[in-house]
Amino acid sequence: MKMEYELREELRQMCILSESIEEKGLERGILLTQKVMRLSAGGMSDEDIAKVSLITREMVHEILEA
């Protein structure tokens, strides 16, 4: 009985951690997208955006085309 409770509690904690990681990833993606859009609107080239954002030019293109 105690073992079941402990396993259930560990599973619950793992789910909470997983949700937290997912939320942080989404937040980082949103912030990156906003940065790329802002830099592009300011006239910066895709190559320069990639350099300052530490992502590939392909990722810049994907963000701008979305």
- Global pTM reads 0.78
Total domains present in the chain: 1
Q: Which residue has the higher pLDDT, 1 or 21?
A: 21
Distance set, CA 28 to CA 6, 7, 32, 47, 48 (Å):
33, 32, 6, 20, 20
Tokens of 12: 């619950």
Q: Which domain holds residue 6?
A: 2-65
CA distance 10 to 20: 15
Residue-wise pLDDT tens digits, 37-66: 999 999 999 999 999 999 999 999 999 998
